[in-house]
Structure 1
């Protein structure tokens, strides 16, 4: 069986097993996370069309835009090729079927694969999709010759978790995993948090490799830079692949690949040209284009957007539970948040209970641009986007308080609602508080 791997970009690779050709997480153009992330390297349109000419399957790991790019699937030239070749799109099983519905509306064939169950692509190639948390998923590919684990962004971090995963799913020949941090790390002045986060990513990659008995590790899913004037400071401590390679090459068999590089899966080797490619790119990261929020959303428009946002929140969730939670002060849920809008140079108070109004006090819980607040009001996933893009400043207490109000939209974007049934979802509650605790301890 001819088996190969080709790095395309970021979290996108192309696997070939004879006639089965699987493309993962195709995002190749444009900025994502609300004008805040860009690719360090971009393919041309012709290169992209050439890549997809012969693929049989596309795996989408999760709904974040650097993995699931609607723009890719809506592109007329891409769509023409994918539909003509009857390419099957593989996605994790979900309750809301949102991704599946979107793709099927465009004429694509989308298969939701049951969590942890084998799904055969051919007599010799089978896959498993393993869900992580409430959005992420990994891909296991098995053939008679290889066993591959694509972890992308999956939070398989501490040794105990990796050991449990190994007991369930075994060892692997090839590991693909994220190699740098990908979200807000405490604000502009918290350089130490970013240093720690970068180091933790390296340690995690090494632990995954060793515990899962891998033969090769291919770091990927981090070939981006923070591209907004409000978050580009976060590029200061990102792991670049060259430094990563030099730090761990004596510990594990790490292979740094460059875009469009293709290798035989049976015998991966480090190509010096790939090291030189990324060395050049990361040395010039400060010269890459920077985006800005150029449009100020005035108070009256924000107020109208707030009213629509609040109505939607109350339609989807229990208004009574929101009100009761807001009265239990020590829990700090749904408390008024002081938001300083940078482009307004003014403070506002946000509360689901008490409204959205101008505030005279100068003390703020969180600072952001009016475009960011507008984005939160317009999109369920808006606050999740803000925490990923890092285009804000907040104190420890301000971040926790903001999360305990705005995260309800993120919950709704996952197809979940605040109601009596949710109160008995212990797994979700523990997951939420563990994430908050993890961030709080590092701020």
Structure 2
């Protein structure tokens, strides 16, 4: 089983006449210009001539990149089969089919043959995340990528189904807002939690090798650049795995080749990544334009029209309003599902729940994934007395709808039941199936 490292969360596994690439994000920014690739991609679009399958773990732009998919030549798309987990709306596979790819919806937690001697096993967690195990040449790779499991009990069923994988691929640093710029201790704790998750995964799965992945990015916007300071760096992660976790670690740089469980010169890859980290202060940062209030109101009207069509309107009106400080406009506004956007009077003492740029609020209204994107790119701060959850609840419905879930009484009942069960320590399913 041979691995070619592409970038970030993307790599190619080759065996038995199959070459399957995961999550091709080859260029550009992601999450509303909040993330950039730490290192340049060496894999060229012409090399897709040798790819037989593409597996997309979930619908985040650092994993599902329409720009990268469109960059593949039509003649190569026609030969490649895109694999994705089962969803209600099938929109990822439908989009890929519209580009000329063949598509295959993977069964959940069953071995599925891609060719004689090469099988995959797909599982899900949360609203959108999925993971994949590969089995070929007598070896097993488990690619957990971004999947978050908070307890060993939630990982054990996977271990029982798959056994000990030869290689575990997993995320190694934070991938969401870690606190305000001054909250450095919180940033460090957030980064340490990712290492603790890695250690827990290794203790449960007991892989022969762990391969850190899905965190080879930098926060590239003026509003979130501060989050680079305490993100886990790959050299420290490599030492943590080998010295603290007592598990062999392999670090791969774009273009690196690796035969699974063989020796690899990780130090060479780490040196190259360190050069890329060192270049961050000199890289240009992204800035965003101001969006006028009237344009924000127009975006809200379109947003609420779609939300009412997909959900129970009266329930939407029960979602609490939130006060937002638009940092670039110097204005405080109240947003709600019932009344839209109201500009508060200058000097109004109502504390803001969140502070962000007007372009970020505009993005939240424009796209189903807007609120989730802001949570990931971290382009905001929380003022004193701020309650950011009130803000994000105004966009949580979009995330449900994007997963094919309607916000209705059934959904509200499930949310309430989960909160009650969690409060009393009763395990709940990782996937949301309503």
Per the normalisation by structure 1, the TM-score is 0.89
Matched residue, 2:58: 62
Matched residue, 2:213: 220
1:368 matched to 2:356? The reply is yes
Matched residue, 2:432: none
User: Secondary structure at the residue paired with 2:108?
Assistant: coil
Q: Deviations over 1:83-135 (max 9, x none)?
A: 35x11111111101110111111121111101111110112111011111110
CA–CA distance in structure 2, aligned partners of residues 264 and 53 of structure 1: 21
Q: 1:169 to 1:366 in 2, by over 3 A?
A: same
1:39 matched to 2:37? The reply is yes
**Kept after mapping to 1: 8 A contact 2:16/2:116:** no
**Kept after mapping to 2: 8 A contact 1:172/1:215:** yes
CA–CA distance in structure 2, aligned partners of residues 193 and 432 of structure 1: 28
Matched residue, 1:88: 81
CA deviation after TM superposition for structure 1 residue 206, in Å = 2.1
Matched residue, 2:400: 411
**Kept after mapping to 1: 8 A contact 2:88/2:404:** yes
1:118 matched to 2:111? The reply is yes
CA deviation after TM superposition for structure 1 residue 255, in Å = 0.8
CA deviation after TM superposition for structure 1 residue 144, in Å = 4.4
CA–CA distance in structure 1, aligned partners of residues 133 and 410 of structure 2: 33
Matched residue, 1:74: 70
Matched residue, 1:438: none
Q: Deviations over 1:149-189 (max 9, x none)?
A: 00110112432222233123322111000000000112222
Matched residue, 1:356: 341
CA–CA distance in structure 2, aligned partners of residues 291 and 236 of structure 1: 17
User: Secondary structure at the residue paired with 1:218?
Assistant: strand
CA–CA distance in structure 2, aligned partners of residues 429 and 286 of structure 1: 44
Q: 1:432 to 1:258 in 2, by over 3 A?
A: farther
Larger displacement relative to structure 2 (110-119 or 260-269): 260-269
CA–CA distance in structure 1, aligned partners of residues 106 and 285 of structure 2: 39
CA deviation after TM superposition for structure 1 residue 403, in Å = 2.1
CA deviation after TM superposition for structure 1 residue 260, in Å = 0.6
User: Secondary structure at the residue paired with 2:296?
Assistant: helix
**Kept after mapping to 2: 8 A contact 1:187/1:390:** no
Q: Deviations over 1:373-411 (max 9, x none)?
A: 111111111110000011111257521211222211222
1:49 matched to 2:45? The reply is yes
CA–CA distance in structure 1, aligned partners of residues 248 and 416 of structure 2: 36
CA deviation after TM superposition for structure 1 residue 61, in Å = 0.4
1:318 matched to 2:312? The reply is yes
Q: 1:369 to 1:428 in 2, by over 3 A?
A: farther
CA–CA distance in structure 2, aligned partners of residues 99 and 55 of structure 1: 19
CA deviation after TM superposition for structure 1 residue 240, in Å = 0.8
Number of aligned positions between the proteins? 417
Matched residue, 1:25: 23
**Kept after mapping to 2: 8 A contact 1:90/1:110:** yes
CA deviation after TM superposition for structure 1 residue 268, in Å = 3.6
1:146-295 aligned at under 5 Å gives the runs 146-250=139-243, 251-293=246-288, 295=289
CA–CA distance in structure 1, aligned partners of residues 417 and 303 of structure 2: 24
Structure 1: tracts of 5 or more residues without a match: 327-333, 435-443
CA–CA distance in structure 2, aligned partners of residues 159 and 273 of structure 1: 33
Q: Deviations over 1:251-297 (max 9, x none)?
A: 2101111111001114142343112111211222222221011x211
User: Secondary structure at the residue paired with 1:175?
Assistant: strand
**Kept after mapping to 2: 8 A contact 1:206/1:252:** no
User: Secondary structure at the residue paired with 2:202?
Assistant: helix
Q: 1:382 to 1:432 in 2, by over 3 A?
A: farther
CA–CA distance in structure 2, aligned partners of residues 87 and 423 of structure 1: 40
Q: Aligned-pair RMSD on alpha carbons?
A: 2.0
Out of 405, 416, 425, the position equivalent to 2:414 is 425
**Kept after mapping to 2: 8 A contact 1:381/1:409:** yes
Out of 309, 328, 339, the position equivalent to 2:303 is 309
**Kept after mapping to 1: 8 A contact 2:210/2:247:** yes
Q: Deviations over 1:7-44 (max 9, x none)?
A: 11000011110411111100010011001100011225
